[in-house]
A and B are shown apart, each in its own frame.
Chain A
Amino acid sequence: MSSIFADISQSEALRRGRRMLPPVVRGLFWAAIGFFIVNTLVSEVLDRTPLAPYVTKVSVTFGWTAATCGWLLGVGAWELVVKPYFGSPVEWDVPNDWRRYFMMSLDHKVVGIQYMVTSVAGFFIAGLAAMLMRFELMQGNLWTFPTPNAYLSTVGIHGTIMMFSFGTVMLVGGFGNYLIPLMIGSNSSAFPRVSAISQWLLPVGIVTVALSPILGTWTTGWRGYAPLAEQDPNGIVFYYLGVFAMTTSSLLVSINLTATILFQRAKGLTWNRIPMYAWGILAASLLNIIWLPEIQMTFILALLNNIVPLPMFSQIGTPLTYMEVFWLFGHPEVYIVVVPAFALWQEILPVMGQKTLFARSWGVLGLVFVMMFSGLVWAHHMFTNMRNDQMLPFSFFTEMISIPTGFAFLVSLGTVWKSRLRLTTPTLLVFMSMFNFLIGGVTGVMLADPVINLQTHDTFFVVGHFHYTIIGAMVFSFMAAAYYWLPRFSGRMYNEFWGKVGAIWVFIAFNAVFGQFLLIGLRGMNRWVPVYPKYLQNMNFEISLFAFLLGLGFLFNLVYYIWVWRYGKRVDANPWSAKTLEWQSTSAPGETNFDPPVQVLMGFYDYSDERPVCKPTSPAEVS
């Protein structure tokens, strides 16, 4: 029996259908047509203003919406979503080669790889922006960018793409889509069409934000502050639209993965056996489902300020109102990024130590309580705008959230204690991630204290702190996961020497950059400005050199990873002797994960028990 949800990706061996344009080409074509028609209609007919340019704030908003719809329909939503919704049969031919990655797919593994590649592309685009910023800051005067606004646009592009296309996405949309169905013993995600659509919104968002300076510079950074944004040229419109596309992508994938974890589990995979990474994804997804719609509505209000225009957050409400609704989302966003990273520590270390996960239930509780507390700390971003008595509860909860965070450390360290730990590249990267987050956490507790917060507000100390938490924890955990699951993705194994070279390279460069951010911040280096006093130049010059080294380190890891994926040494199906279910299947993209379905017999983290964790079962049996 088939269903409209999970089994739709199961193939039937029928003849190949009619040929059409390659979906990505068709998507670009339909997007161009949509933009041209709707932009022309709005700017030249419905909202015509004498002497106004062809592309206006209003017309580009509607034109972008039409282009996005055209793009989604062109890459496959027309055949996979729209026509079936109105009663036509699903007809979609998927070549099982490289071309399947350039079209809408219902295979969760293909979607996962599409997400990973797009997200990594976003990481390097944002990284390039960071390199340009550091190049500018090598001197204390404006010498690389033509105007301060151009510098600020680059800062905004860096932060926006890094947060919304990589930090929020890589571990959820990328690894989550690929691995979660495998880890819970399912052959599909719950709503494959939802993830298929969401993936193709991500490149829309990245390209929109990256190209925003075409419409004019914007000065607000990744936070899109209103009413400041009203002073900006049209580029800020593309900021709001691009973020809307990327957050919609994350929202849809979160709904899908939440339903997948709750409903698609194999028989025997009870709540107390759910893998740690699935717990992390569940917690992050619930945060996404609550907070992303909140920031989307806030950004729509700010967008209306620009295109109608309306006077919200200035005559109506105040700038402080915008800050409140932004940071109400903004701080949970940090935990959306790092909670899956905590889960990765607890996923990788028991495997590498071949030792039972220490205090597993406390690890789960830590993830859940971090998720719950994350909505109670947001105002520490606004201490400079608050009365002293208002600061106290937020200061308290910000310090308290370090307790459930500490659970992740204790569970990880307890697992390593007296284990036969293999110091592989993933292990090393997990330890690096823990060290970095420790620095980020300690400086976070310091910033929770209003006295320090007010002194260091808007200095590089804060920039160093949040880069330690986000890059330090999430990016290093992502790299650990990437090397850990590389044999699962590609069937090939990296070389430990070169893996460790890559890990140590980025670790040294990262700490040299962001450790000095903390110090230079304490010496008075401010954010948001491309010029600074002469006494800060030597340190800035040196930081920039290490930043370039860091950029090259990430590039080295990427090139090496791709090389291993293509030419690395072939390896057995389960080289780490891991117990989780993704290692019990060798299915590649385009293949069924578990045929027949499996029944889980025990938890995945008890390495003192030699019995198999699962056995084949009949197709209808699920927990």
Chain B
Amino acid sequence: MAGNEQKHPFEAEPWTIIRRPAISELTPRELRLGRFGAALFVISQAIPYFVLVNVRWMLAGSYIPAGMNQWVGGLLPTILLVVGILFAWLGVHANLEGRKGALQGWFTVNVLLGVAAIVILLVALTTYPFNTLSHYGSIYVTCLGTAVFYTIVSTIVMLGVIFRSAAGLVSPRTPYGPESAAVTWTFNAVAWFALYLALYVI
């Protein structure tokens, strides 16, 4: 390899061709790294919710409108998302025990819950009985819009794990995918629950 030895260190090979399975085994350290990255992401995305929840200055003097449907846009998506936390972690647990079918089953239920929550929130966003120029109306549509966005994200994340599991890429030795999806779902559900309390209860 005399030619290589004489090659200047700042010249590279002509092509780098990346061919890899989408996912492979993780070392404990890599798992910790993934968990840390997910935690940082969740912390960063919790901050917009702090801004939204801390809207007492906006809600000051407002009230929950009399014709408000407490179910659509309120209780129903809250129930769907919060129940989904349990199913998401049941899926994670199933994966750790090597029950691939159970993982896919629980996560599929969650995708359905997510789609249902999105539809209900969109219905609420189009049928509310008040003016968006009111104190309550402005906060309401902003919070529901945020909830729809994050619910779409967490549902897609769940869907990705189902596809990867079906392709044989998720196993007890690669627990990060289901775990991060469950963390994302839990974050979204808890954050929405906080918004729900601010909008409907407090």
Contact = CB atoms under 8 A, between A and B. Distances in A.
A96 B138 contact: no
B22 A87 contact: yes
B44 interface: yes
Contacts of A93: 15-18
A451 interface: no
Contacts of A12: 17-20
A564 B179 CA distance: 49
Contacts of B47: 290, 293-294, 297
Interface in A110-148: none
Interface stretch (A310-318, A369-377, A551-559): A310-318
B34 interface: yes
Nearest to A84: B22
B30 interface: yes
A1 B40 contact: no
B11 A588 contact: yes
B17 A90 contact: no
A94 B17 contact: yes
Interface string B93-119: 000000000000000000000000000
B18 A90 contact: yes
A577 interface: no
Interface string B8-32: 1111111111111111111101101
B9 A259 contact: no
Contact of B13 (A96, A194, A304): A96
B12 A310 contact: no
Contacts of A321: 57
A446 interface: no
B123 interface: no
B27 A255 contact: no
The range of chain A's interface size is 35 or more
Contacts of B25: 1, 3
Interface in A261-311: 262-264, 289-290, 292-294, 296-298, 300-301, 304, 308, 310-311
Contacts of A85: 22, 160, 164
Interface in A65-97: 83-97
Interface stretch (A13-21, A231-239, A503-511): A13-21
Nearest to A591: B12
A414 interface: no
Contacts of A490: 10
A293 B43 CA distance: 10
User: By CB atoms of chain A within 10 A, which of B132, B133, B138 has the most?
Assistant: B138
A95 B15 contact: yes
B29 A296 contact: no
Contact of B142 (A9, A190, A301, A586): A301
Interface string A161-195: 00000000000000000000000000000110010
A603 to B, nearest CB: 23
B30 A3 contact: yes
Nearest to A310: B138
A259 B36 contact: yes
Contacts of A258: 40
A295 to B, nearest CB: 9
B44 A316 contact: no
A86 B160 contact: yes
A128 to B, nearest CB: 33
Given A298-B51, A316-B58, A95 B14 contact: yes
B22 A312 contact: no
A300 B143 CA distance: 11
A308 B135 contact: no
A590 B22 contact: no
A302 B14 CA distance: 49
Contacts of B50: 294
B138 A15 contact: no
Contact of B26 (A3, A315, A491): A3
Nearest to B170: A87
A384 interface: no
B65 interface: no
A403 B14 CA distance: 52
B163 to A, nearest CB: 4
Given A255-B40, A259-B40, A310-B133, A491 B9 contact: yes
Contacts of B201: none
A11 B16 contact: yes
A590 B52 CA distance: 44
A33 interface: no
Interface string B31-72: 011101100110111011011100001100000000000000
A590 B13 contact: yes
A311 B17 contact: no
B141 interface: yes
A9 B10 contact: no
Given A2-B24, A86-B163, A310-B132, A263 B10 contact: no
A5 interface: yes
B40 A8 contact: no
A7 to B, nearest CB: 9
Nearest to B13: A96
B19 A89 contact: yes
Give the interface centre of B30, B43, B133, B159 by most chain A CB atoms within 10 Å: B30
Contacts of B17: 11-17, 93-94
Contacts of B51: 294, 297-298, 301, 325
A212 to B, nearest CB: 24
Contacts of A294: 47-48, 50-51
B86 interface: no
Nearest to A3: B30
B166 interface: yes
B176 interface: yes
A365 interface: no
B32 A263 contact: yes
B160 to A, nearest CB: 5
Contacts of B132: 308, 310
A586 B48 contact: no
Contact of A2 (B20, B33, B40): B20
Given A191-B37, A310-B133, 12 more contacts: A3-B26, A4-B22, A4-B24, A6-B33, A89-B21, A90-B20, A93-B17, A263-B36, A294-B47, A304-B142, A310-B138, A317-B57
24 contacts: A3-B24, A5-B34, A11-B17, A17-B17, A83-B22, A86-B160, A87-B163, A90-B19, A94-B18, A255-B37, A255-B44, A258-B40, A262-B36, A289-B43, A297-B51, A298-B51, A304-B142, A304-B145, A308-B141, A310-B138, A573-B9, A588-B9, A588-B10, A622-B29
Interface of A: 1-6, 8-9, 11-17, 83-97, 100, 106-107, 190-191, 194, 251, 255-256, 258-259, 262-264, 289-290, 292-294, 296-298, 300-301, 304, 308, 310-312, 315-317, 321, 325, 490-491, 573, 586-591, 622
Nearest 10 pairs of A and B residues by beta carbon? A87-B167, A297-B48, A590-B12, A586-B9, A84-B22, A293-B47, A96-B12, A297-B51, A491-B10, A263-B33
